[in-house]
Structure 1
Amino acid sequence: MADWAGFRETAGRRVGGFGRVALGDADGVRRAAVVLCVAERDGELGVLVIKRANRGRNPGQWALPGGRAEDGETLQETGLRELREELGLEIAEADVLGMLDDFPAASGFAITPVVAVAQGAGEPVPDAREVRSVHHVPLRVLAADGAVNWVDRPDGGRLLQMRLGPGMTIHAPTGAMLWQFREVVLLGRDVRVADLIQPDWTRN
């Protein structure tokens, strides 16, 4: 059986002690939130990753459940609403462990990652209008050495790839948030992600 109590205690302490970087509401910056949702499958804890529907925003791309903030919402409320709308999962505010760094996406959104647990929330039921498929990535896979790959670019930069399974290579911004979750929450390290390179095809 999954060690929910142990994960909640460790993850809550690490996220709570992490001095996250929050971006200001500058002119032209749109706000969004995603959820790094930890769920159980076959007795193992993992993060839920989705593949977007073939039509709509970011068609066919790997993503975390989430979307644009609506007027009057906190970013935590945005994340939980989007999780409910996209995957049918109801999570209480008490199941939110905290937030990681805002990510300045090239699309013009400042994305806030919300770390939460879906203990007892049941199986996700994806909304086919927005989600093609749902994938449970075990925490042991995310924490493994082979999950992180850096690609040297001709311009001298390095491109992050999160390699989480066959055909599952994820770049920034989603890959950046998964990497920070891995480093901060799973491994207890302090890393920043705002300057990670985003492939051109993510800029929409």
Structure 2
Amino acid sequence: MGAASNEPGSDGVSAAAIRAALERFQPRTEALAGRRAAAVAIVVADGNGTRGVWLTRRSAGLRAHAGQIALPGGRIDDGEDAVGGALRELDEELGVALSQDAVLGRLDDYPTRSGYVITPVVLWAGAGWQPRPNPAEVARVALVPLPELDVPPRFLRIAESDRPVIQLPLLDTLVHAPTAAVLYQFREVALRGRHTRVAELEQPVFAWR
């Protein structure tokens, strides 16, 4: 389980193709400047004949961003790098213990209004994994098929910022930044081969805290 495959799925996507697209991309890093380092895992997995990425709904009892749609991830511990943090958080939240061999690449750091710099790490799980959500952190997990990421994003203007707020209609709701920004860049860079930046995309005001 977790071995990268060169075989494309029915959607034409393979680990080799994603890795090649990410190797052509030069991800931007952001200085912490007093913020805390975090990492999220964009995990490409196969389930019931569908290839997609796992999204979670955060548990209602969490102190921050409870109930929001998110990628597995969290704060990077002392002595960890972004890859180590993403792999650990994936295991803690979903019970999926991937190795370093599962890493396909990374995307741009995304600074958040709540004081973090998030590094997105793209991982390949392939087939054979059944997530076991940790109820203390995850209310539910869903595999979003890769073709569903091809939804047109919505861009809104708010009085509090001159940057556009991004929304992605997924899972019968609206997914907001930072998750929406990260998923949009993953789609554009890893799946479409388009060098797209997302630092200018804003979060909704409720996510600023």
Report the TM-score, using the length of structure 2 for normalisation.
Answer: 0.89
The 2-side partners of 1:52 and 1:169 are apart by: 14
The 1-side partners of 2:58 and 2:164 are apart by: 26
2:56 maps to a residue whose letter is I
| Contact preservation (8 Å) 1:103, 1:110 | yes
Q: Using the TM superposition, give the Cα deviation of residue 203 of structure 1 relative to its aligned residue in structure 2, in angstroms.
A: 1.6
* Residue identity (%): 39
| Contact preservation (8 Å) 1:89, 1:121 | no
| Contact preservation (8 Å) 1:147, 1:162 | yes
Provide structure 2 residue ranges, at least 5 long, that are not aligned to the other structure.
1-7
Question: Helix, strand or coil for the counterpart of 2:126?
Answer: coil
Q: Using the TM superposition, give the Cα deviation of residue 121 of structure 1 relative to its aligned residue in structure 2, in angstroms.
A: 4.7
Equivalent of 2:119, from 109, 112, 119? 112
The 1-side partners of 2:171 and 2:61 are apart by: 24
The within-5 A match list for 1:96-111 is 96-111=103-118
| Contact preservation (8 Å) 2:11, 2:147 | no
Report the TM-score, using the length of structure 1 for normalisation.
Answer: 0.92
Paired position in structure 1 for 2:189? 184
After superposition, the C-alpha distances for 1:149-191 in whole angstroms (9 at most, x for unaligned) are: 223446764321111232x211111110010001101111111
The within-5 A match list for 1:41-80 is 41-56=47-62, 57-80=64-87
| Contact preservation (8 Å) 1:148, 1:161 | yes
Say what the alpha-carbon RMSD is for the aligned residues: 1.9
The 1-side partners of 2:107 and 2:56 are apart by: 19
The 1-side partners of 2:40 and 2:13 are apart by: 24
1:151 maps to a residue whose letter is L
Paired position in structure 2 for 1:124? 131
Cα–Cα, structure 1 residues 13 and 54, in superposed 2: closer, same or farther, change >3 Å?
Answer: same
Q: Using the TM superposition, give the Cα deviation of residue 50 of structure 1 relative to its aligned residue in structure 2, in angstroms.
A: 0.4
User: Mean alpha-carbon deviation: is it higher for 190-199 or for 69-78?
Assistant: 190-199
| Contact preservation (8 Å) 2:46, 2:128 | no
| Contact preservation (8 Å) 2:57, 2:68 | yes
The 2-side partners of 1:181 and 1:170 are apart by: 14
Equivalent of 2:41, from 35, 59, 62? 35
Question: Helix, strand or coil for the counterpart of 1:118?
Answer: strand
| Contact preservation (8 Å) 1:160, 1:175 | yes
The 1-side partners of 2:11 and 2:90 are apart by: 20
Cα–Cα, structure 1 residues 157 and 73, in superposed 2: closer, same or farther, change >3 Å?
Answer: closer
Question: Helix, strand or coil for the counterpart of 1:83?
Answer: helix
User: Mean alpha-carbon deviation: is it higher for 115-124 or for 2-11?
Assistant: 2-11
| Contact preservation (8 Å) 1:31, 1:69 | yes
| Contact preservation (8 Å) 1:39, 1:119 | yes
Aligned pair count?
Answer: 200
The 2-side partners of 1:86 and 1:141 are apart by: 23
User: Mean alpha-carbon deviation: is it higher for 113-122 or for 44-53?
Assistant: 113-122
The 2-side partners of 1:23 and 1:121 are apart by: 35
